Amino acid sequence: MFGFLGPNGAGKTTTMRMIQCISPVTGGSLEVLDMDVSTCQREIKSHMGVVPQENNLDEDFTVYENLLVYSRYFDIPKDEAEKRVEELLDFVQLLEKKDVMTESLSGGMKRRLVLARALINRPDVLILDEPTVGLDPQARHLIWEKLRNLKKQGVTIVLTSHYLDEVEKLCDRLVVMDNGKILVEGSPMGVIEEFIGSDIIEAENNPELLECLQQKEAKYEIIGDTVHIYADNAREISEFLLMECSLSKISARPATLEDVFLKLTGRRLRE
Ligand SMILES: Nc1ncnc2c1ncn2[C@@H]1O[C@H](COP(=O)(O)OP(=O)(O)OP(=O)(O)O)[C@@H](O)[C@H]1O
Ligand SMILES: [Mg+2]
């Protein structure tokens, strides 16, 4: 499972669309399942499932029909398709909604249906562009469980998400990108350790603290009235700071992918 992270407009969806053979590759080369995207589009698409960033279900059809009609793009025999539709609706827990028109589904149900639709051709590669956006914690956990299941079955999953805890939990490897360029690549733990260290100490910003930090040659970042101190030895630094300078508030926590993301791509809003 591979994650693409990056701020709004970084080029994640554009990259996903190139992998799906929808957007042209303007530079370099791109192979999916050892096939070139510019010459083997049909073959690649037949092995691929896609959950696009925007839901694009057919509102004129029921839940069941949406999947059945989609199966025709892959020449799946009708009997087999009907069997798969039932299985997939069960997989995403939508069997009860089988005969409902999709426009009356909730946001989370629509997302689960799009995931089921992406699996109709039993893909080897699954592309997920922000699969859990807007979902409640229950639906998100359900999707995570399904994705882990698919991963166990050997499906390659490519994911974008702004929920960095999700990426940290699920992905084996990831890149952080911005302006169409890769900034880092590695495992979630690997990039956290490389760019932040194991822990972050958060303390209230004051001149005395900054002096202490400089004396200790600690790595830190000032964010408004808070200071983030990057540390592999949180306990030692916390104790030093508590002894040496007057602090009103200090807390330590494990570093996360979100810290890496903000460090690499800045804290200012895009566009
Ligand atoms: N390599 C690139 N060079 C120049 N422009 C690019 C490149 N990649 C993407 N763009 C442009 O940047 C814009 C946003 O790209 P895209 O939709 O891929 O962003 P995103 O990372 O998916 O953002 P979001 O998190 O908001 O979904 C588009 O207008 C796209 O054409
Ligand atoms: Mg996008």
Could you give the residue range(s) of every CATH 3.30.70.260 domain in the chain? 197-254
Helices 107-118, 78-91: crossing angle, 10 deg rounding: 140
Q: Is the CB of 177 under 6 A from ligand 1?
A: no
3-state helix, strand, coil in the chain (%, to 5): 45, 20, 35
Under 8 Å between Cβ of 130 and 53: yes
Q: Is the CB of 11 under 6 A from ligand 1?
A: yes
From 5, 13, 182, mutation site for ligand 1 pocket: most ligand atoms within 8 A of C-beta: 13
Task: Tell me the CATH number of domain 197-254, given options 3.60.20.10, 3.40.50.2000, 3.30.70.260, 3.40.190.80.
Answer: 3.30.70.260
**Domain 2-187 is found in CATH 3.40.50.300:** yes
Contacts 24+ apart (CB under 8 A), 220-225: 221/263, 223/267
Rounded to whole angstroms, the Cα distance separating 61 from 68 reads: 10
DSSP string spanning 9-68?
TSSHHHHHHHHTTSSPP-SS--EETTEETTT-HHHHHHTEEEE-SS----TTSBHHHHHH
Which pTM value belongs to this model? 0.91
What would the pLDDT profile of 88-107 be if each residue is shown by its tens digit?
999 999 999 999 999 999 99
Ligand 1 centroid to 42 CA: how many Å? 25
The pLDDT of residue 227 is 93
Under 8 Å between Cβ of 2 and 157: yes
Please, which pLDDT band fits residue 224 given cuts at 50, 70 and 90? confident
What would the pLDDT profile of 129-187 be if each residue is shown by its tens digit?
999 998 999 989 999 999 999 999 999 999 999 999 999 999 999 999 999 999 999 99
Q: Please compute the mean of the pLDDT values over residues 43-69 and round it to a whole number.
A: 97
Closest ligand to 176 CA?
1
Rounded to whole angstroms, the Cα distance separating 265 from 252 reads: 23
What would the pLDDT profile of 128-141 be if each residue is shown by its tens digit?
999 999 899 998 99
Could you give the residue range(s) of every CATH 3.40.50.300 domain in the chain? 2-187
Phi, psi torsion values for 163, nearest 5 degrees: -90, 100
What percent of the chain has a predicted confidence (pLDDT) above 90? 84
Ligand 1 centroid to 12 CA: how many Å? 6
Between 111 and 267, whose confidence is greater?
Answer: 111
Ligand 2 centroid to 169 CA: how many Å? 20
Ligand 2 centroid to 188 CA: how many Å? 21
From 8, 12, 14, mutation site for ligand 1 pocket: most ligand atoms within 8 A of C-beta: 14
**Is pLDDT above 70 for 53?**
yes
Burial zone of 6 (CB within 10 Å; 0-12 exposed, 13-18 middle, 19+ buried): buried
Least confident of 64-68, 104-108, 124-128: 104-108
Contacts 24+ apart (CB under 8 A), 238-243: 238/201, 240/212, 240/216, 241/201, 241/203, 241/209, 241/212, 241/213
Q: What separation in angstroms does the CA of 145 have from each of 109, 151, 267?
A: 16, 10, 32
Under 8 Å between Cβ of 49 and 127: yes
Rounded to whole angstroms, the Cα distance separating 151 from 173 reads: 13
Closest ligand to 182 CA?
1
Nearest atom (ligand 1) to Cα of 7: 25
Read off the tokens for 17: 């669309």
Largest pairwise CA distance in the chain: 75
Q: Is the CB of 84 under 6 A from ligand 1?
A: no
Ligand 1 centroid to 24 CA: how many Å? 13
